[in-house]
Amino acid sequence: MSIETGALPVSVQGLIREVEEKLTGRPKLARMFGKCYANTLTTTLKRQADGSVFVITGDIPAMWLRDSAAQVRPYLILAKEDQELAAMIEGVVKKQIQYILHDPYANAFNETADGRGHQSDDTVMTPWIWERKYEIDSLCYPIQLAYLLWNTTGVTSHLDENFRKACYSILELWRTEQNHDEKSSYRFQRFDCPASDTLPNEGKGTPSAPTGMTWSGFRPSDDACEYGYLIPSNLFAIVILDYMATIAVEILKDEELAKQAASLRSDIQTGTIKHATIEHPKHGTMYAYETDGLGGYNLMDDANVPSLLSLPYLGCCDINDPVYLNTRKFVLSEENPYYYSGTAAKGIGSPHTPEGYIWHISLAMQALTSQNKEEIEHLLNVLESTDAGTDFLHEGFHKDNPAEYTREWFSWANSLFSELILTYLGYSVPSSMNAR
């Protein structure tokens, strides 16, 4: 499945050649970049009759709102000069907006209304929906991609009436989920599955109290939240609401939308200031991963983005922010229950994969948020040596044996690796870290 049956766009071929020349002394890393950068274009995209673009994650034939945005974001670097790539990214945004308007609580969708996916889940399913695990970041990523496309290329045709409607839908949902226990009708149960695949309390989730933040049923790993206020996703929502307000003022000329986005942003920010940090006996003031507004805190980090490690990359804080630096020390230590050290690598994994499995996404993110050249070089060496001879990156791999891995074909990991290589070589890659 590909956006075109012919060769890669000339601009993509040219950039791959440039990178290969700059990495002359590292032929395998250069080869990996070429294959990973082409991967999303050549294997995961399908243009629809209406001009929108459907994006599979790789080995799962469904479109995740989060993954699809991350998969195509590395092509923004070329989109200003390449109208074909700009149109492709615009098509992805339009498809994402269509899905949000269909059901803003769903995280993954089918290409057609064929009823594929998890239709037996106890929630409000339709034939268009592959999975209906509600995750805050599923609504953040399409707004981020839409903003970055405009910010990078000047293209505004995707910021249309459907986009306006989707923004209002997101605001309404996030307002409702500020008081999930009393105001939300969202429920999710899956049966005969691990506990991480379903919500307790008859699908309502663990109890929570209003904080100003907005509730999430699931993490970006698609695993259930232990506590409903997922802090990295709330911090990302603050950034996205700023983007939404900017688009409302400058493009949509909608003062009411800008006002509502700014108001909700203020509420969530106030909530994070009051509830998102804890005093750690070793690391000082740092971010927790989740809280419930009732005094419960979950201290961990997950490989999937949004993560605590990724906060500067997402534009949530400065890379030198003291609270972030304290948090980073925690998440990159064995005090984080999902940080693993082995003979092949050390890094962050996820309860979504077996114990002892490190994620390539977390290693790339660690490098993207590092200011230490030795650390970055080390991580590039680790990424190069843990591909199991495939020239592609995977989901998780065993800390002692990279030949044991999950997901042969995982486009998000390949795209993030591509961003890392481009950033490492000095290219200005559009992202929330440098968007403003």
Domain boundaries, the chain: 85-104+135-334
CA distance 327 to 332: 9
pTM for this structure?
A: 0.97
Per-residue pLDDT, 433: 81
426: exposed, middle or buried (C-beta count within 10 Å: 0-12, 13-18, 19+)? exposed
How distant, in Å, are the alpha carbons of 27, 151, 155, 422 from that of 74? 21, 14, 17, 9
Q: What are phi and psi of 58, to 5 degrees?
A: 135, -110
Amino acid at 302: D
3-state secondary structure of 410: strand
Q: What are phi and psi of 312, to 5 degrees?
A: -65, -35
Per-residue pLDDT, 26: 97
Q: Which CATH number fits domain 85-104+135-334: 1.50.10.10, 3.90.1300.10, 3.40.50.300, 3.40.920.10?
A: 1.50.10.10
CA distance 216 to 221: 12
CA distance 317 to 314: 8
Per-residue pLDDT, 435: 63
The first and second tokens of residue 318, run together, are 């400065």
The first and second tokens of residue 379, run together, are 């991580």
Per-residue pLDDT, 250: 98
Per-residue pLDDT, 15: 98
Look at the chain and count its residues: 436
From the list 75, 71, 96, the residue with the least C-alpha distance to 85 is 75
CA 145 to chain centre: 11
Torsion of CA 393, 399, 403, 406, to 10 degrees: -60
Per-residue pLDDT tens digits of the chain, which is 436 residues long:
344 445 799 999 999 999 999 999 999 999 999 999 999 999 999 999 999 999 999 999 999 999 999 999 999 999 999 999 999 999 999 999 999 999 999 999 999 999 999 999 999 999 999 999 999 999 999 999 999 999 999 999 999 999 999 999 999 999 999 999 999 999 999 999 999 999 999 999 999 999 999 999 999 999 999 999 999 999 999 999 999 999 999 999 999 999 999 999 999 999 999 999 999 999 999 999 999 999 999 999 999 999 999 999 999 999 999 999 999 999 999 999 999 999 999 999 999 999 999 999 999 999 999 999 999 999 999 999 999 999 999 999 999 999 999 999 999 999 999 999 999 999 999 988 876 4
Per-residue pLDDT, 434: 73
Q: Tokens 């900017």 belong to which residue?
A: 246
